Amino acid sequence: MTIQTIPTTPIAGQRPGTSGLRKKVTVFVQPGYLENFVQSLFDVLNATGQDGQGLKGQTLVLGGDGRYHNRAAVQTILKLAAANGVQRVLLGQGGILSTPAVSAVIRKHQVFGGIVLSASHNPGGPEGDFGIKYNASNGGPATETLTEAVYARTQIVRELRISDAPDIVIDTLGLQWVEQMQVEVIDPVADYAALMRELFDFDLLRGMFARGFTMRVDAMCAVGGPYAQAILEGELGAPRGTVVNAQPLEDFGGLHPDPNPVNAEDLIAHMARTDAPDFGAAMDGDADRNMVVGRDFVVTPSDSLALMTAHARLVPGYKDGLLGVARSMPTSAAVDRVAKKLGIACFETPTGWKFFGNLLDAGKVTLCGEESYGTGSSHVREKDGLWAILFWMSLLGATGRSVESLVREHWQTYGRNYYTRHDYEGVAVEAANQLMVDLRAVLPGLPGQKFGTRTVTLADDFAYDDPVDGSISKAQGVRLIFDDAARVIFRLSGTGTEGATLRLYLERYEPNPTQQDIAVQQALRDLAALADQVAGIARHTGMNGPTVAT
Ligand code: G16
């Protein structure tokens, strides 16, 4: 075994997006692609690490969602880590760790940071996507400052430092070595499960299953399966088969592991049957997203966050109440109304879980959530799919109510925020950029303008001043806010790997209980037309409607 220094040349386009670097597998397998990025990350960490020591003597956590290329990438990263001063790596068995589990392991063992191999909800397999992101010592996604520094480094990286050691055995628990670096292969579920036991009343949940509570969790052939099986079927006594698609597969069995009504159609159909279980849920590729479904009743992520906030004291881990809550800007304002009633702060951040990190670290918020099927809390620094499922199950157990009745009661109390997201996928990058340029140009003229019965009260490009570290993030999405609290938001996705995706978020508030049962797309039809009128979506994209509406 020797450590080698190998010349390399910079590769263009290695800028991390909303959540790490995501590209097609065909891109990631190009010689030097992964190596250049990881070397650049290690160079930055070595230059900026604690006490000037960089990675020397430090421990990293490593694992991924098991998608195609996960296993090969693990071996490459270990060889680079060993050559760049890392002392120890905690590696999930088989190269597997869900994103929230990486965060939990980093925090529990108080280590320097971790690397997550995932393209989240993006499809897998040789023709699918792969991704990598770095999480810092708080367990959360690296800040923009760090990811930008890594990107800058990728543009000048000239040398790889890498060991020529043989591959290690990643399926066997225990200690191995790569050069002087210890690799401890750990049980991917154990630390995470221990954390869940601290937050939830497992006896209550066990009792629910014992009394016949029924549930269907669709793990979408992704990494959440082993976690859900171990906790729900193993510890809590749920009947075998409660977790479906539980075996993580390199191509997710051809499923698109994105837990929304469009991609989790099998779960939606199952929950619409007359013999549907009491509770349904799905998770995404790396198990940080969740979708909550009642009997023939889908809960929007925005409503889910609002309800969890309203009832948090029913869950043991949150019985003392919440410090505050945070949502991403495009997420509906349903939670704002709950926060107001509870008298707690509600923060509005740009899209990207990394923006919640400072608020959580500073003790300003306890719960966070996003419209993109993500909810989480201060227990880790990632959104957490199975945690959200256990949280909802706890609410059902504590109240004895159904999913639908809890949500309907919530709307009666707080009003309903009708909400939808329209995705225009596969738009030519230039056309999408031009749409945003043209839209930004008309913003100054919009306030005061009337559209039907509505008047624009604010039209801006959202900028976020981080209240903890003072950093400013500009151009985070164009928002139009109206005098009746309706909102229309436009932004380009930062997680796609092909062309551009325009996201259009539509929301209107309905306080009248007799008007809270309109089909969502119908309730928001006029706002969709307004959005097209202002932004010329059809004109710019050549598309007459979204590819996905959830
Ligand atoms: C990531 C981020 C989320 C974000 C989502 C969608 O989630 O962590 O904060 O809401 O992408 O981002 P975009 O609208 O830019 O595509 P994940 O689950 O993909 O890691």
Does 507 or 255 have the greater pLDDT score? 507
Going by alpha carbons, the residue nearest to atom 14 of ligand 1 is 493
135 lines ligand 1 (CB under 6 A): no
| Length in residues, the chain | 550
99 lines ligand 1 (CB under 6 A): no
Ligand 1 center to 318 CA (angstroms): 26
Q: Which two tokens stand for residue 358?
A: 């400072």
Distances (CA, A) of 137 to 50, 140, 195, 357: 10, 7, 17, 11
Q: Tell me which of 98, 120, 328, 377 is the catalytic residue.
A: 120
Question: What local confidence, expressed as pLDDT, does residue 497 receive?
Answer: 81
For 63, phi then psi, to 5°, come to: 180, 165
Going by alpha carbons, the residue nearest to atom 4 of ligand 1 is 352
Band (52; pLDDT cuts 50, 70, 90) = low
Question: What local confidence, expressed as pLDDT, does residue 498 receive?
Answer: 85
Going by alpha carbons, the residue nearest to atom 9 of ligand 1 is 352
Name the percent of the chain lying above pLDDT 90: 96
Q: What is the 3-state secondary structure (H, E, C) of 354-375?
A: HHHHHHHHCCCCCEEEECCCEE
Angle between helices 33-48 and 70-83 (to 10 degrees): 40
Does 496 or 296 have the greater pLDDT score? 296
The amino acid present at 358, given as its one-letter code, is N
Question: What local confidence, expressed as pLDDT, does residue 51 receive?
Answer: 60
- 120 is an active site residue: yes
Question: What local confidence, expressed as pLDDT, does residue 97 receive?
Answer: 98
Question: What local confidence, expressed as pLDDT, does residue 370 receive?
Answer: 98
Contact 328, 359 (CB under 8 A): no
Contact 538, 546 (CB under 8 A): no
For 91, phi then psi, to 5°, come to: -110, 130
493 closest CA partner among 368, 328, 308: 328
Angle between helices 429-442 and 525-535 (to 10 degrees): 90
The number of beta carbons lying within 10 Å of the beta carbon of residue 144 is 16
pLDDT reading at 332 higher than 60 = yes
According to the CATH classification, is domain 416-549 in 3.30.310.50?
A: yes
Contact 269, 393 (CB under 8 A): no
503 lines ligand 1 (CB under 6 A): yes
133 lines ligand 1 (CB under 6 A): no
Q: Encode pLDDT of 186-240 as tens digits.
A: 999 999 999 999 999 999 999 999 999 999 999 999 999 999 999 999 999 999 9
Q: What CATH number does the domain located at 3-188 have?
A: 3.40.120.10
pLDDT reading at 50 higher than 60 = no
The architecture that CATH gives domain 192-414 is 3-Layer(aba) Sandwich (3.40)
Question: What local confidence, expressed as pLDDT, does residue 364 receive?
Answer: 98
Name the percent of the chain lying above pLDDT 70: 99
Ligand 1 center to 421 CA (angstroms): 13
Ligand 1 center to 373 CA (angstroms): 9
What is the phi-psi region of residue 521: left when phi exceeds 0, alpha when psi lies from -120 to 50, beta otherwise? Answer: alpha
Q: Encode pLDDT of 487-510 as tens digits.
A: 999 999 988 888 999 999 999 999
DSSP conformation letters of 211-268: TT--EEEE-TTSTHHHHHIIIIIIIS-PPTTSEES-S--TTGGG-----STTTTHHHH
Question: What local confidence, expressed as pLDDT, does residue 496 receive?
Answer: 81
pTM: 0.96
Provide the greatest CA pair distance for the chain: 73
pLDDT reading at 539 higher than 80 = yes
Q: Which two tokens stand for residue 372?
A: 């993109």
Sign of CA dihedral 314, 319, 325, 327: negative
Q: Encode pLDDT of 66-115 as tens digits.
A: 999 999 999 999 999 999 999 999 999 999 999 999 999 999 999 999 99
Domain with CATH 3.30.310.50 in the chain: 416-549
426 lines ligand 1 (CB under 6 A): no
Q: Encode pLDDT of 303-331 as tens digits.
A: 999 999 999 999 999 999 999 999 999 99
Contacts (Cβ under 8 Å, ≥6 apart) of 210: 237
The number of beta carbons lying within 10 Å of the beta carbon of residue 464 is 17
Contact 119, 215 (CB under 8 A): no
371 lines ligand 1 (CB under 6 A): no
548 lines ligand 1 (CB under 6 A): no
Atom of ligand 1 nearest to the CA of 494: 15
Domain with CATH 3.40.120.10 in the chain: 3-188, 192-414
> Average pLDDT of 130-142?
96
